[in-house]
Chain A
Amino acid sequence: MPHQLSRRDILKVAALGAAAVAGSRLIRNAEASGSVPHGKHQWAMVIDQSKCTGCGYCTLACQAHNDTAPQNQWNVITEVGELGGHKVFLPRPCMQCAKAPCVEVCPVGASYYRDDGIVMMDYDKCIGCRYCQVACPYQARVFNWKKFEGENPTVPEWGEPEVERRPRGVPEKCSFCYHRIDRGLAHGQMPGVDADATPACVVVCPTGARIFGDLNDPESEVSQILKEHASYRLRDELGTGARVYYLPADPKEMELEVES
């Protein structure tokens, strides 16, 4: 029956066509989300564990500047051990991964890369499914289970809020204080050098354990330090390409820190 065959053929062609269109779109997109952001600047943070005393100022400044609820810390400090009689700490902001699991899995594209490598959250797009939270290897995301209402206990002592409070029902995370970076660059300042253009946690650190700067600039402090010192990244084996580097605690340097 030729009639029957032709129908079947049309169906086959239609199915193949649809598959081809869908396939090409998927491949193109897979490439897009697999690529590393390549803007002019590539921001990175170095945290020197020899210098960190675990004072928690970074967390407080973050809470004030980003107006986070007390239970929603974007920057968490953990005591990880002891070295030569001194405690060793590990502060953990968002790693701003170059290949961020949260960006890959977000169904609506509410998590995305900026050209300068910062992993951003579009709080207006987010549907609150929390897949990003499940996918993040660093527990960097906190969910707004309820609306943050009332006063922020860290304001004004630790700074003034610079971004809008997030609504109920979306996850939030550290953004390398992108607003400070953008504002600074607009005023001709250099993030990592000028305090007003640098993330609040870096500025407030009393021991200078946090260093911020541009990886694309070989003269920047972060580039120089990473060239001269051995560093490591958290869960590097996952291939996330974190932009937060740690300098492991060195007993000798820790002695010097205590003396100074």
Chain B
Amino acid sequence: MIARLRAKLHRVNAWTFWLGFLGLLLAIGLTGGLLVFWKGLVVTNLTDLVPWGLWITIDLSSIALSAGAFSLCAAVYLIGLKRYEPVARTATFIGLIGYSMAMLSLLLDIGRPERFWHAMVYWNTHSLLWEVTMCVCLYLTVLLFETMPILANFEWLRGRFPKIAAKMEGAHHYAPYLAIAGLCLSMLHQSSLGAVYGVLKARPFWYKPEMAVLFMFSAILGGISLTIFASMFSSRLTPRARVNDALLERLAHFVGWALAAYVYFRAWDWLAMTYTYQPGRSEGLALVTSGPLSFNFWIGEMLIGAIVPMILLLRQSTRQHRFWRMAALLMVVGGVVAYRWDVNLSGLLVVLSYLPGEATVAYASYTPSLVEIMAGMGVIGFGMTAFSLGVRYLKVVDHRFAIEEHESVNVESPVAVTAKA
């Protein structure tokens, strides 16, 4: 009986199992999402004191971890590091997925999801959140164009609509221009996401200019790390993903050095924060260094999120060892997510009283509800599904695959093309 079952199971391959698992995640997410849209945000554990929670963290993290797209595209098409082009392709695809995930989690998070388009129509140019929304939408469009040549790899599309596929492939001619647009838009909103918190005078723990810099810096780190990790991981699981390990190793070396710089900035950020007592700010720091968020901060963010991977990636022996390199990169990704979680909660959990006289500080608390976790799992499941399908059907991770060479700005003019014809 068991033998027969095992024989049957053997026929069901790993891919089907993986799809089943992803399908389960999506089903859980869909249930959670529908509950949110039906019942409203009352199903969350968010309160008037802590109005932003798990979904904002997912939103911030997926945008941050998409930063590999703009930084690698800039490196390839603007700085001219051509050999990284296949990695930039993977990063671009991850970027498209990441920004779609951000949109999904925002849609869950806003109280009136049917009005998501209002920021396009009703402008408050003074609001950082408006700027972020506009940049994210514009950049999602840029990413769509950037992924056109990747989507054109879909066999079915090539067979059925060869002309459309050829047109989509042609979009790569504009890659340098798209890289410029992507760089500008990303620099703007990746830092503005930190500034969303950094400009709030009412929350002393957030109110500091380096929020924008740290968000930007950690996003580039996390984005490149996720790209390398996802490439290596899929190449281990399926022959459809092929990587040039030397290329990824060199990129991982860069991440190691960048981590050293990040540790410096981040340490400076909290060590230089407050010497004397400052209401709200000192409590925020205490929350992070010795309070409920301290494990997250010391272990998640600093030790596992930055210092250990920095050492692993800077030491040649561990960097060349595939397992340790992958482990280190995954740690960086986790560290970026932990940083976003800590930033969001540390500012919200400290409730600075408006009462006069001695400043009284109260502490709020927040643990995500089951529905929040379910819907969050769905968003993450969506990302994993999209990437898996990309690896299988679109050659997203294939370092042998190179689209035709083109100079960074030397694009044939339409006149020349017609003349030739």
Of all chain B residues, the one with the shortest Cβ separation from A170 is: B111
Known: A107-B124, A107-B130, A108-B122. A129 touches B48 (CB 8 A): no
**A233 CB to nearest chain B CB (Å):** 9
**A151 CB to nearest chain B CB (Å):** 19
Residues of A within 8 A of B42 (CB): 145-146
Residues of B within 8 A of A101 (CB): 200-202
Of all chain B residues, the one with the shortest Cβ separation from A78 is: B355
In the complex, are the beta carbons of A126 and B46 less than 8 A apart? no
Q: A109 an interface residue at 8 Å Cβ cutoff?
A: yes
Residues of B within 8 A of A104 (CB): 126-127
In the complex, are the beta carbons of B119 and A127 less than 8 A apart? yes
Of all chain A residues, the one with the shortest Cβ separation from B176 is: A11
Known: A8-B409, A128-B111, A134-B203. A105 touches B127 (CB 8 A): yes
Q: A130 an interface residue at 8 Å Cβ cutoff?
A: yes
Residues of A within 8 A of B180 (CB): 11, 15
In the complex, are the beta carbons of B48 and A143 less than 8 A apart? yes
In the complex, are the beta carbons of B112 and A170 less than 8 A apart? yes
Interface size on B, residues (CB 8 A): 48
In the complex, are the beta carbons of A109 and B123 less than 8 A apart? yes
Residues of A within 8 A of B411 (CB): 7
**A20 CB to nearest chain B CB (Å):** 14
Candidate in A25, A106, A142 with the most chain B CB atoms within 10 angstroms: A106
Residues of B within 8 A of A234 (CB): 354-356
**B1 CB to nearest chain A CB (Å):** 52
Residues of B within 8 A of A235 (CB): 202, 354
Residues of A within 8 A of B184 (CB): 15
In the complex, are the beta carbons of B112 and A128 less than 8 A apart? yes
Main secondary structure of the interface of B (DSSP, over half): loop
Q: Which of B49, B109, B127 contacts A139 (CB 8 A)?
A: B49
Interface size on A, residues (CB 8 A): 57
Alpha-carbon distance between A134 and B198 when the two chains are bound, in angstroms: 12
Stretch at the interface among A26-34, A50-58, A210-218, A252-260: A26-34
Q: A80 an interface residue at 8 Å Cβ cutoff?
A: yes
In the complex, are the beta carbons of A108 and B130 less than 8 A apart? yes
Residues of A within 8 A of B112 (CB): 126-128, 167, 169-170
Known: A106-B124, A109-B124. A134 touches B200 (CB 8 A): yes
Q: Which of B41, B52, B356 contacts A169 (CB 8 A)?
A: B41
**B362 CB to nearest chain A CB (Å):** 11
Residues of B within 8 A of A135 (CB): 200, 202
Alpha-carbon distance between A239 and B202 when the two chains are bound, in angstroms: 10
Alpha-carbon distance between A127 and B401 when the two chains are bound, in angstroms: 44
Residues of A within 8 A of B177 (CB): 11
In the complex, are the beta carbons of A125 and B202 less than 8 A apart? no
Q: A230 an interface residue at 8 Å Cβ cutoff?
A: no
Residues of A within 8 A of B18 (CB): none
In the complex, are the beta carbons of A80 and B355 less than 8 A apart? yes
**A131 CB to nearest chain B CB (Å):** 5
Residues of A within 8 A of B122 (CB): 108-110, 125
Q: Which of B111, B200, B352, B356 contacts A127 (CB 8 A)?
A: B111
In the complex, are the beta carbons of A238 and B201 less than 8 A apart? yes
Alpha-carbon distance between A136 and B125 when the two chains are bound, in angstroms: 19
Q: Which of A4, A125, A131 contacts B118 (CB 8 A)?
A: A125
Indicate with 1 or 0, residue by residue over B145-174, a CB within 8 angstroms of chain A CB atoms.
000000000000000000000000000000
Alpha-carbon distance between A110 and B44 when the two chains are bound, in angstroms: 24
Residues of B within 8 A of A80 (CB): 355-357
Alpha-carbon distance between A114 and B340 when the two chains are bound, in angstroms: 36
Q: Which of B48, B410, B413 contacts A133 (CB 8 A)?
A: B48
In the complex, are the beta carbons of A136 and B202 less than 8 A apart? yes
User: B121-139: which have CB < 8 Å to A?
Assistant: 122-130, 133
Using a CB–CB distance below 8 Å, which chain A residues touch chain B? 1, 3-4, 7-8, 11, 15, 25-26, 29-30, 32-33, 78, 80, 90, 92, 101, 104-110, 125-131, 133-139, 141-147, 167-171, 232, 234-235, 238-239, 246
A-B residue pairs in contact (CB < 8 Å), sample of 28: A1-B410, A7-B409, A7-B411, A26-B126, A80-B355, A101-B200, A106-B124, A108-B119, A108-B124, A109-B122, A109-B124, A109-B127, A110-B122, A127-B116, A128-B111, A129-B111, A129-B129, A131-B127, A131-B129, A131-B196, A133-B51, A134-B203, A143-B51, A146-B41, A169-B110, A234-B356, A235-B202, A239-B201
